[in-house]
Structure formats: C-alpha cells, structure tokens
Amino acid sequence: MPQNPLSLEDFRRWALGNLVDNRNRGLFAEWLVGMALDVIDKASERQEWDAYDLLYRDRKIEVKAAGRSQSWNPNHSAPIRFGIEQKKTSWSAATDTFTHHDQPQRFADVYVFCLHTAVPADNVNVADPDYWQFWVVRTSVLDGELGTQKSLGINRLDQIAEPVQWSDIRATVDECLKETLVDGTGD
C-alpha cells in the first residue's frame, strides 16, 4: 500500500483528469473566464449550485460551455446547444438561502458562452485558450431576443453577439456592463 494513499492531487487527477468530458470542460471554462476577469481567488473554492458562476465588479456572470468534440466520439463534430432556461428558484451560496420567484428568470447580468472548437479534443487543446471562442451577451438581450427559449445554438448566438478571443473577454464584459447601466437593466 502506498505511504499516502489519500493524496489530494491524485484525487484531482482522477476526478478532473479528462478535460474533454463535458462536466470537466464546463468547470474549466468557468475557470478560464474567471481568470480572464481576474476573479479567481486562490484562497476560495468554486460554489456548486450557486445562482450564477462568477461575481465580477458586483455583477453576476453565468458561464455556458460546449465543445465540438465529445469524449465518447472525439473525431465527430457534435451539434452545439447552450442551456439558457429561465428558473423559478435560485440559491445563494453567500447566504445559504433559496429564493422562489413568481416568474421564471435568468439570474446573471451577463452570460459568457464558451465553445471549445478543436476536433478531436484532448487535454492539451482544451487547456489552450486559442482553441476556444467566446460570446458575451447581456441577459437583457437574451430575454429580449429569446424570451423563454431554453437553449441557444451557434447560428442564433452569432446573430446576437460577435465571438471574441479569451484576451478580449474582460473588455467585452465591461462594455456589456456599461450598456446594462445605460439601458437601465442593471440593479
């Protein structure tokens, strides 16, 4: 038996080692956007099930991820859909409270859609921001353009936003937040 059979690094490698897996790629996309926005605090951990993924300048950011290549069929390009469903309940990790809303809604101020483009995908290209495309969209635009629609494909996404590179995420989010304050959809 190994001297330290309960290595935290071994667990991380075992649980998160395959970045092509949809769950892990989604977690990586959240981290990638968080790094672009400089909101990843090395002393804190990700909050599972929070009503939004990241907090940037006191504004809520939702990250949605997809990949053209899937771990179960890496050489085939899969159709892309991002879930954008409105919800009637939300949970706040900060206060540990559930809130029930009369009308379904999207809880973030801005959505960042992340598409990993490499086919086939592997851990090396998933970890490289150059193999990703990003779209930044104000939630008010999603609500106005798509209403109660539950998912969004690339063609429609391209009609409501321009893709940006990883290095442009922060400036694009800043611009969306500025527009949110101007059009009155902000808090």
Cα dihedral angle (60, 64, 65, 68), rounded to 10 degrees? -150
Task: Return the biggest CA–CA distance within the chain.
Answer: 63
Distance CA 162, CA 32 (A): 19
pLDDT tens string 42-82: 767 788 888 899 999 999 999 999 999 988 888 888 889 99
pTM score, whole prediction: 0.90
How do residues 122-142 score in pLDDT, each as one tens digit?
Answer: 999 999 999 999 999 999 999
Q: What is the mean pLDDT of residues 171-187?
A: 77
For residue 151, give every residue at least 6 positions away whose Cβ sits within 8 Å of its Cβ, in sequence order, or none.
81, 82, 83, 84, 85
71 or 108: which leads in pLDDT: 108
